[in-house]
Amino acid sequence: MIIHKAKGIWIDGKKTMSKTLPMHEYLNPPFVYIPLLQQASPLKRIVEIGDKVAIGQTVALREGFGAMPIHASVSGTVTAIKKVWHASGRMVEAIEIQNDFQNRMDESIHVQTDVSLLSRNDLVIKMQQAGLSGLGGAGFPTYIKYQAKCPIDVVIINAVECEPYLTCDYMLINSYPEKLLKGLSYFMRAADAKKGVVAFKAYNTHIKESLEPLLLNYPGIELYEVKDIYPAGWEKYIVQKITKKSYSGLPAEAGAIVDNSATAIVFADVVEKNIPLISRVITISGEGIKNPQNFYVPLGTLVKELILLAGGYIEGLDPTKAWYIAGGPMTGRAILIDDLIVNDTLGSVIVKPMPEELKHPACLGCGKCADVCPVYLTPTEIQRAFESKDTKAIKELNAQKCMQCGLCSYVCPSHIEIADYVARAKELLRKGA
- Positions touching another protein (CB under 8 A) are 1-2, 11, 164, 319-325, 329-339, 350, 352, 354-355, 358-371, 375-378, 380-381, 393, 396-398, 401, 404, 406-407, 409-415, 417, 419-420
Nearer to another protein, 362 or 433 (CB): 362
Say if residue 379 is preceded by a cis peptide, omega within 30 of 0. no
Q: How far apart are CA 21 and CA 146, in angstroms?
A: 36
| Dihedral sign computed on CA atoms, order 423, 427, 432, 433 | positive
DSSP code string of 321-332? GEEEEES-TTT-
Q: Are 69 and 135 in contact (CB under 8 A)?
A: no
Helix axes 120-129, 261-273, angle to 10 degrees: 100
Nearer to another protein, 60 or 423 (CB): 423
Instruction: Say how many CA atoms lie within 13 Å of 282 toward its Cβ.
Output: 34
Q: Are 197 and 241 in contact (CB under 8 A)?
A: no
Nearer to another protein, 196 or 329 (CB): 329
The CB-of-425 to another protein minimum distance in angstroms stands at 13
The CB-of-360 to another protein minimum distance in angstroms stands at 7
Nearer to another protein, 104 or 384 (CB): 384
Q: How far apart are CA 159 and CA 260, in angstroms?
A: 6
The CB-of-307 to another protein minimum distance in angstroms stands at 10
The CB-of-40 to another protein minimum distance in angstroms stands at 19
Burial class (CB in 10 A: 0-12, 13-18, 19+), 387: exposed
The CB-of-320 to another protein minimum distance in angstroms stands at 6
The CB-of-318 to another protein minimum distance in angstroms stands at 9
3-class DSSP state for residue 103?
A: coil
Nearer to another protein, 196 or 327 (CB): 327
Q: How far apart are CA 190 and CA 313, in angstroms?
A: 44
Nearer to another protein, 7 or 45 (CB): 7
The CB-of-351 to another protein minimum distance in angstroms stands at 8
- The edge-to-edge listing of strands for the beta sheet with 221-226 is 221-226, 195-201, 154-159, 256-260
Amino acid letter, 127 = M
The CB-of-79 to another protein minimum distance in angstroms stands at 20
The CB-of-2 to another protein minimum distance in angstroms stands at 6
Nearer to another protein, 22 or 367 (CB): 367
- The edge-to-edge listing of strands for the beta sheet with 76-85 is 31-35, 91-99, 76-85, 52-53
HEC secondary structure over 231-262:
CCCCHHHHHHHHHCCCCCCCHHHHCEEEEEHH
Nearer to another protein, 56 or 329 (CB): 329
Nearer to another protein, 13 or 298 (CB): 13
